[in-house]
Amino acid sequence: MIIACAAIALIVLARLYFTLRKLRPSHTASWDEMMIERLRAQGYAPFKEYPVDFFLALPDEVACSAVRARLELDGFSVDVKPIGDEVTLPLSLHASKTMRLILLDMTELSQRLSAIASEFHGRYDGWAA
């Protein structure tokens, strides 16, 4: 009888453990997080400022002008170049700014730039430092 109760308790505990493990959110690193980890491994200090380049692909000059105006108000330097082989998004907007590589800040900025690009029917292509 004691052995049967112990076996049942063990089965219940094992099931509870695996059920809770499934419910726990898995940690998948974002692109921003992986990029910052890679840069820090190369010696980038988290509180030192670095020049950071951001890239957006946009459909036309009107979209580029509107995005440029928004970003320049926030202290970005912006230039636009045509992309020769891209048909649907023929212009590449490059924005640069000197800033700290802090994960929360970079994630928020990536989300903001992605939203801006989407608003103008474009695409946010990420950043590099």
Fold classified for 26-128: Alpha-Beta Plaits (3.30.70)
- Mean pLDDT (10-residue bins), the chain, 129 residues: 85 79 60 90 89 96 96 96 82 96 92 96 94
- How confident is the model at residue 24, as a pLDDT? 58
* Residue where the block lists tokens 């049942």: 8
Give the chain's radius of gyration (CA, Å): 23
pTM of the prediction? 0.74
Residues recorded for the chain: 129
- How confident is the model at residue 19, as a pLDDT? 75
Query: Interior CA angle at 26 toward 54 and 102, to 5°?
Result: 30
- How confident is the model at residue 99, as a pLDDT? 95
- How confident is the model at residue 26, as a pLDDT? 47
- How confident is the model at residue 21, as a pLDDT? 67
Sorted by where each begins, the domain ranges of the chain are 26-128
Residue among 90, 91, 96 nearest 113 (CA): 96
